[in-house]
Amino acid sequence: MDKFDQQIISRLQQNARASLAAIGRDIGLSRSAVAERIQRLEARGIIQGYTLKLAENGRQAVQAYFQLSFSPFKLDELLPAIQAIPELRSGHALSGEVDLILFAETDSMERLNQIRRELEQLPDLKRLLTCPVLQSISP
């Protein structure tokens, strides 16, 4: 992926309904070049779909990051349990004190607490820190 692909992905993450022409204007490519790049990203599995986020009864979603530390850290054994939680939107294995960081988006604080309880059951978990999102920003 080059810088144009990364910029296209960034624009689509901000607004998946942005027109190809608008994305092209923002990053300095033609509409057709943007369309071709998106098709390639989809074919390679980098872009796997587009989603719609709804607020329930006008409420905003509850978002949080979970920082998990294990001893020992065996990601392959943890993946099935993690992938079974649909509200987990992304995750990253890290080096350092934190082995895994997961991002969750739920419709309620109650569901967020349920997810935390599910994560607490993961084998070899030594530490779990929940960091609720207070405000989203665009850098």
Q: Is the pTM of this model over 0.75?
A: no
Rounded percentage of the chain residues whose pLDDT exceeds 90? 65
* 34 and 70 co-located in one domain: no
How high is the pLDDT of residue 1?
84
Range of the domain at 35: 3-43
Do both 12 and 72 map to the same domain?
A: no
**pLDDT (tens digit, 9 = 90+) per residue, 36-60?**
999 999 999 988 888 766 655 555 6
CB 79 within 8 A of CB 122: no
- 70 lies in the same domain as 19: no
- In angstroms, what CA-CA distances link 56 with 27, 73, 107, 129? 34, 36, 7, 26
Buried b (16+ CB within 10 A) or exposed e, 101-120: bbbbbbbeeeebeebeeebe
* Mean pLDDT estimate for the chain: 90
Tell me what the mean pLDDT of segment 18-34 comes to: 91
Count up the domains in the chain and report the number. Answer: 2
